[in-house]
Amino acid sequence: MSTPTFSIVRPPPPSTASAPLSHIPITIPGSTIPTEDLSVRARGTLLSTTGSTRVLTATVAGVITRVNKLVMVRPLRAKYIPETGDVVIGRVTDLAGRRWRLDVNAARHAILLLSAVNLPGGIQRRRTYQDELNMRAFFTEGDLVSAEVQEQWDDGCVALHTRSLRYGKLSGGTFVPVQPELVKRAKKHFHRLDCGVHAILGNNGYIFLAERAEKEGGATTPEMRKMVARVRNAVLALDTEFIAIGPDTIMSVYDASIEEGVELRDMTRPDITAKICEGARSMRAAA
Amino acid sequence: MLSGAEKTYIEAGAAQGIRADGRGLLDLRPVTLETSLLPTASGSARVRIGGVTDILVGVKAEVVEPHVNAPDEGLMSFAVECSSLASPDFVGRGGADLNAELSQLLTRLYASSATRELRRGLALIPGRKCWVLHVDALVLDSGGNLYGALSLAVRAALRVVTLPRVVIIPGEADDDDEIEVNEEVFERLSRSEDAPVAVTLSAVGGRGIYIADSTSEEEACAKAAITMGVNLAGRACGAVSGGTGGVDMDTLKSMLKDAVRVGGDILKTTDSFLQDDIARMESGEEVEPVGFFS
User: Which chain A residues are Cβ-neighbours of B262 within 8 angstroms?
Assistant: 4
Query: Cβ of A93 and B212 within 8 Å?
Result: no
User: Which chain B residues are Cβ-neighbours of A3 within 8 angstroms?
Assistant: 26
What percent of chain B has a predicted confidence (pLDDT) above 70?
Answer: 100
Tell me which of A6-15, A89-98, A177-186 is least confident: A6-15
Q: Is residue B103 helix, strand or coil? A: helix
From residue A116, alpha-carbon distances to A113, A281, B30, B276 in Å are 5, 39, 43, 61
Query: Cβ of A174 and B6 within 8 Å?
Result: yes
User: Which chain B residues are Cβ-neighbours of A219 within 8 angstroms?
Assistant: 12
User: How many cross-chain Cβ pairs, A to B, lie less than 8 Å apart?
Assistant: 138
Domain assignments of chain B as residue spans, ordered by start: 4-284
B245 touches chain A (CB under 8 A): no
Q: Which residues contact B151 (CB under 8 A, 6 or more apart)?
A: B105, B106, B109, B196, B197, B198, B229
Query: Cβ of B1 and A142 within 8 Å?
Result: yes
CATH of the domain spanning B4-284, picked from 3.30.230.70, 3.40.309.10, 3.40.630.30, 3.30.1600.10: 3.30.230.70
Q: What is the pLDDT of residues B45-69, one digit of tens each?
A: 999 998 899 999 999 999 999 999 9
Give the per-residue pLDDT at A11. Answer: 86
What is the rounded average pLDDT of the residues A202-206?
96
Query: Cβ of B51 and A240 within 8 Å?
Result: yes
Give the per-residue pLDDT at A1. Answer: 46
Pick the residue from chain B with its C-alpha nearest to A222. B16
What is the rounded average pLDDT of the residues B4-14?
92
For chain A, the C-alpha Rg in angstroms (whole number) is 22
Q: What is the pLDDT of residues B208-256, one digit of tens each?
A: 899 999 999 999 999 999 999 999 988 888 888 888 888 899 999 999 9
Q: Exposure string (b/e) for B77-97, b if CB count within 10 Å is 16 or more?
A: ebebbbbeebbeebeeeebee
Domain assignments of chain A as residue spans, ordered by start: 25-75, 78-169, 170-287
* Half-sphere exposure (Cβ direction) of A248: Cα atoms closer than 13 Å: 12
User: Which chain A residues are Cβ-neighbours of B28 within 8 angstroms?
Assistant: 4-6
Query: What is the residue-wise DSSP string for A96-117?
Result: ETTEEEEE-SBSS-EEEEEEEE
Nearest to A220 among B2, B12, B50 (CB): B12
Report, at the CATH architecture level, how domain A25-75 is classified.
Answer: Beta Barrel (2.40)
The chain-wide mean pLDDT, for chain B, equals 91
ipTM of model: 0.89
Give the per-residue pLDDT at A136. Answer: 92
Which tops the pLDDT comparison, B128 or B175?
B128
- Please name the fold of domain A78-169: OB fold (Dihydrolipoamide Acetyltransferase, E2P) (2.40.50)
From residue A34, alpha-carbon distances to A18, A62, A73, A133, B73 in Å are 21, 15, 12, 58, 61
Q: What is the pLDDT of residues A208-267, one digit of tens each?
A: 999 876 655 667 788 999 999 999 999 999 999 889 999 999 999 999 999 999 999 889
Q: What is the pLDDT of residues A5-45, one digit of tens each?
A: 788 888 888 766 555 666 788 899 989 888 877 788 888 89
Q: Which residues contact B236 (CB under 8 A, 6 or more apart)?
A: B114, B228, B229, B230, B256, B260
In this structure, the number of other CB atoms found within 10 A of the CB of residue A235 comes to 25
What is the rounded average pLDDT of the residues B8-24?
93
Query: Cβ of B30 and A5 within 8 Å?
Result: no
User: Which chain A residues are Cβ-neighbours of B144 within 8 angstroms?
Assistant: none
Helices A222-241 and A278-286: angle between axes, nearest 10 degrees: 60
Pick the residue from chain B with its C-alpha nearest to A93. B1
